[in-house]
Structures are given as structure tokens and as C-alpha cells.
Amino acid sequence: MNDKSIKENVSAEEWALRVELAACYRAVAHYGWDDLVFTHISARIPGPEHHFLINPFGWMFEEITASSLVKIDLEGNVVGDSPHPVNAAGFTIHSAIHEVREDALCVIHLHTMEGVAVSAQKQGLLPLSQQSLFPLCSLSYHEYEGLAVNPEEKARLQSDLGHTNNMILKNHGLLTVGHDIASAFLNMFILQRACEIQLLAQSGGSDVMPINPQILAGIQAQSEIVMKNSGAGIAWQGLVRKMDRLDPGFRD
């Protein structure tokens, strides 16, 4: 089966998910968060099989299309007749999360410069900005174990993530999950922005001023109200329109 025939051989639900995931890859490339052909974004296809979609290894994020995405199972086997390989490290991280987090339909893992820089700081993400408060409400850390190709690391990754939606992989990068692609992307957008602001604040030549812990304690309930009233979907719809204006080819 070639890329052009995939649309006719998958469900309408899977095709819609493929289009959204391709848009997410394009958005990451647009913001300059990609790392050549490395790092990954995955989305689980609804159903008991726990199949998920991931990028074909060797493709730039700006090249990803709905048809080019590869469907694999939790053992890393390609489902269907895709000619494209997948990256072993991406499989380890993403399969570990999709295996245990039923609520995590989408997993985003990036190596942004700012994210890696904060991941190398002993204190990690600090409560220095309004943006930082949202990920701090649901943030975990995972120790660096080298390239993520060891299957034994999966259990530790699963345990460290727990029920959080944001993770800093120490000396490595950032990871977010969401119940849909929109929420996973917004989580990453805010976490990335918080890292950028932290580094700028620390480079300002004066002591940083952390936010009052009492405010941090109450922000979770406030964030739930904000998200309920607006939702990641509103921002995501605007972003998809932007990707369409830049290059609608991701829908192919």
C-alpha cells in the first residue's frame, strides 16, 4: 500500500487523526522546536489494539503528511504496508506512555534548546512566570539514562510520569501528553514558553523573583476553570488554520 492509497484504506476517524497529527508536526516545525529528523509526536488510534501513529524516521517535521505517518503496535511492529521505518528511541518512549495512560491520546517529545537547558538545571522549572504555573501543577521528572533504546527504562518512565501531563526528561528535553492533540500541543506550548522565560529571567543580571507558593497552590483550580471556558481546542483550531495558510499539503 502506498501513501496515496492510505486514505481509502483507513477509517474516517483514523484519517481525521492523521490530518491533525500531521498539522501538529508542521506546527512544531513552524515554531522551530524540531531537531532535524529526531524527536517524535504520537497519537493513539481509538480501539482496543492500542495502535498509534508516529513519524516516518528520516522525514523532516515540515514534510510530514497525513499519509506518511506510520501505524505501529505496542511492540513496535508496523501495522499495514507502510514502507517507512520508525526510530527505536521514539518507539520506546511513546509506547511506554500509550501502554499505561488511557487518557494520553497524544504524546509530544521535543529537544528544544530552551527545554534541554532547563532540564540541565538542578532545580528544574521554577515558578517565575504565569506561564510556569500551569505545567508546575502537573509536572514530573525522569532521570537521564542515555539514549532511550533500553526496554527496561519503560517501567521507570511510566512510574515517573504517573498521572502528570508534563515531564522534564533531565539532560534531555520536554514531554507532554493530552487527551487529544490540541491539549498535548497547548501543554507543550506553555511548558516551552515557561522554559524560554526562565532562561531570559536568569540572564537578566539580577536575582529572580519567584511567585508566592500560595498562588501556585491555587492555580490548579483556576487553570481548570480557564481551560473549561476556553479550551485548548480554540487555540488549536486557529493553529490548524495557520498551517493551512502556510501549506495545506499536510492534509495529503
| Average pLDDT over all residues of the chain | 91
| Three-state SS annotation for 96-116 | HHHHHCCCCCEEEEECCHHHH
Question: Could you report the per-residue pLDDT of 70-118, keeping only the tens digit for each?
Answer: 999 888 888 987 888 787 766 789 989 999 999 999 999 999 999 999 9
Contact criterion met (CB below 8 Å) for 2 and 56 = no
Give me the residue label for grid cell 511510566: 158
- What global pTM score does this model have? 0.93
Give the domain ranges of the chain: 3-251
The matching CATH number, chosen from 3.30.1130.10, 3.40.225.10, 3.40.50.2300, 1.10.3720.10, for 3-251 is: 3.40.225.10
Q: Inter-axis angle of helices 232-246 and 181-202, to 10 degrees?
A: 90
Question: Could you report the per-residue pLDDT of 139-158, keeping only the tens digit for each?
Answer: 999 999 988 778 889 999 99
d(CA 13, CA 23): 16
pLDDT at residue number 229: 55
Contact criterion met (CB below 8 Å) for 153 and 160 = no
pLDDT at residue number 162: 97
Neighbours of 252 (CB within 10 A): 14
Contact criterion met (CB below 8 Å) for 141 and 70 = no
Contact criterion met (CB below 8 Å) for 97 and 107 = yes
Lowest mean pLDDT across 37-41, 84-88, 95-99, 222-226: 222-226
| Residue 175, H or E segment | strand 173-178
pLDDT at residue number 1: 44
d(CA 56, CA 26): 14
d(CA 54, CA 22): 10
Q: How confident is the model at residue 227 (pLDDT cuts 50, 70, 90)?
A: low
